[in-house]
């Protein structure tokens, strides 16, 4: 019998591809609660979807609430004698709750702190940005988000007198953390666009949570935007930045500021050649953090 706080994961290896469906049926007939396949893939460039590699023998994980009976293993050998397995007993966890335990308030930049919505801000926190990330990218802990927060903070300090009359577009807003930082720093108008519908939903919830209804999170994508902005922010992987370069330049006002992070250091030369050269942009500042590079440029 299994402890109620644990489950069994059986890793099957050397599974012939042509038997996969039959083995899956056998697993469920023996009481499995779930079956997943460990698919090998290649992804040479982060702008492309992963490509599944075709292999003759697969690996599968089979999940049971109780340790499976002998008939499960006997049945596997009847189907193919070459199938191997390893049995793992693992602790059942509420992964969302486990993740929440590790997410603590932290200083993002200046007097701004990122505070999980379920916690109280620490005393030294002057300006909390409440976040409930859900499934969306962007808790503020990633190096690229921190570089972008640094840029927004420096921009707001340098152009304090102008900020209230400026409009900013946050491309790939995620949880809207950067859009909220900009709005709370004094930016006049802020809009965040996002390709992922779940992230748009989370962004709107976070905007509401921080009582910042003036921030817009429209359904619109960058190719459909006709307005121009004083500041354009894009924290997106470098390959995508290159792909949407024309649209990013189009929505930037003449003389406007563009903040770009998400460039892998090893791809920086390629990015600079493809994005910066012959773009009419002047580099105001370049920074590095961990394996990432960020640019503050002006048209």
CA atoms of 140 and 180, how far apart (whole Å): 12
DSSP line for 217-235: --S--GGG----EEEEEEE
For residue 172, what pLDDT band results from cuts at 50, 70 and 90?
very high
Give pLDDT, residue 2.
45
Tell me the mean pLDDT in the region 90-100: 73
Give pLDDT, residue 26.
95
The Cα-based distances of 102 to 119, 141, 217 in angstroms read 12, 12, 28
Residue 135 has pLDDT above 90, yes or no: no
The model's pLDDT over 217-242, given as tens digits with 9 standing for 90+, comes to 999 999 999 999 999 999 999 999 99
For residue 136, what pLDDT band results from cuts at 50, 70 and 90?
low
Helix (H, G, I), strand (E, B) or coil at 170: strand
Give pLDDT, residue 132.
85
Positions of E strands within the chain:
6-16, 34-38, 41-42, 51-52, 57-64, 84-91, 106-109, 112-116, 127-131, 167-171, 189-193, 229-235, 252-264, 282-289, 292-298
Range scoring the smallest mean pLDDT among 47-51, 133-137, 162-166: 47-51
For residue 102, what pLDDT band results from cuts at 50, 70 and 90?
confident
Non-local (6+) Cβ contacts of 216 within 8 A are: 189, 190, 191, 192
Mean pLDDT of the chain: 89
More confident residue, 95 or 295: 295
More confident residue, 135 or 199: 199
Give pLDDT, residue 57.
72
b/e code 249-279 from CB counts within 10 Å (16+ = b): bebbeeebbbbbbbbbeebbeebbebbbeee
Give pLDDT, residue 1.
46
Question: Could you say which architecture CATH assigns to the domain 97-298?
Answer: 3-Layer(aba) Sandwich (3.40)
Taking the alpha carbons at both ends of the chain, their separation in whole angstroms is 67
Report the topology of domain 6-92: Alpha-Beta Plaits (3.30.70)
Range scoring the smallest mean pLDDT among 37-41, 44-48, 159-163, 227-231: 44-48
Where in the sequence of the chain do the CATH 3.30.70.120 domains occur?
Answer: 6-92
CA atoms within 13 A on the CB side of 199: 17
């Amino acid at each position: 019998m299994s402890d109620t706080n644990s489950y069994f994961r059986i890793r099957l290896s050397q599974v012939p591809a042509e038997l996969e469906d039959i083995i899956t049926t056998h697993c469920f007939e023996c009481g499995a609660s779930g079956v997943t396949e460990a698919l090998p893939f290649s992804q040479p460039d982060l702008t492309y979807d992963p490509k599944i590699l075709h292999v003759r023998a697969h690996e599968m994980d089979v999940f049971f609430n109780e340790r499976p009976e002998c008939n499960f293993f006997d049945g596997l050998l009847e189907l193919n004698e070459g199938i191997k397995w390893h049995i793992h007993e693992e602790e059942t966890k509420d992964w969302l709750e486990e993740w929440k335990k590790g997410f603590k308030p932290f200083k993002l930049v200046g007097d701004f702190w990122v505070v999980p919505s379920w916690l109280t801000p620490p005393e030294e926190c002057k300006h909390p940005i409440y976040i409930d990330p859900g499934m969306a990218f962007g808790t503020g802990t990633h190096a690229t988000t921190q570089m972008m927060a640094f840029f927004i903070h420096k921009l707001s300090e340098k152009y304090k007198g102008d900020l209230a009359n400026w409009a900013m577009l946050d491309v790939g807003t995620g949880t809207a953390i950067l859009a909220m930082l900009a709005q709370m720093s004094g930016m006049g108008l802020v809009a965040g666009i996002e390709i992922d519908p779940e992230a748009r939903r989370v962004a709107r919830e976070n905007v509401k949570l921080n009582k910042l209804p003036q921030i817009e999170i429209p359904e619109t994508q960058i190719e459909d935007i006709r307005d121009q902005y004083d500041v354009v922010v894009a924290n997106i992987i470098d390959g995508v930045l290159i792909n949407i370069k024309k649209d990013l330049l189009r929505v930037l006002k003449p003389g406007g500021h563009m903040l770009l992070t998400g460039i892998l250091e090893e791809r920086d030369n390629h990015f600079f050649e493809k994005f910066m050269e012959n773009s009419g942009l002047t580099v105001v500042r370049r920074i590095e953090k961990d394996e990432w590079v960020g640019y503050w440029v002006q048209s």
